[in-house]
Amino acid sequence: MIQTIIDLLNEARLKELEAVNQYMIHHDELENRNFHKLASQIKEIAMVGMKHAEKLTERILFLKGEPFLEPPRAPQAGQEMPDMLATDIAFETQTIKMYTEAATICAYEKDQHSKELFEELLSDEEGHLNCLKDIKYYVDRLGAAYIATLTGK
């Protein structure tokens, strides 16, 4: 049913907007703490999220649906770097699970274009997750020595 697909697209769009808010809060906090290199990486992920939200909106409108107007949930602020990374890793993990299930449902509903859109977004999310896990691994293992490499431009 087309409404099922529109609902999935809207849920994903909301998830992307929540991610953008979360990542931009983390970007701002990291910039303020002079962790410019990590802040830049986080901002890049946020920008990809904006592009994802745009693609999802375009697909919703193409299917004659209405994009949800509810605001995304409020981001977490004031976290230390390891907690920021854990929050972002959990968010990406949830998103990957959701997009995998959405692609499967789209295939079942015979909406190949929406399925391919979810698979494209899924690929980006897996890349984000790997990047964040790598950073967390080094922060956890090397601590202050690695964190020091994240300063500067």
pLDDT in tens, 97-137: 999 999 999 999 999 999 999 999 999 999 999 999 999 99
Which is it for the CA torsion 38, 99, 77, 142, positive or negative? Answer: negative
Domains, the chain, ordered by start: 2-66+80-148 (1.20.1260.10)
Indicate the pTM of the whole model. 0.91
Cα→Cα distances 32→39, 77, 80, 85, Å = 9, 13, 12, 17
Q: Tell me the mean pLDDT in the region 146-153.
A: 77
Residue in this structure with the two tokens 């984000």, named with its chain if needed: 128
**Percent of the chain whose predicted confidence (pLDDT) is above 90:** 78
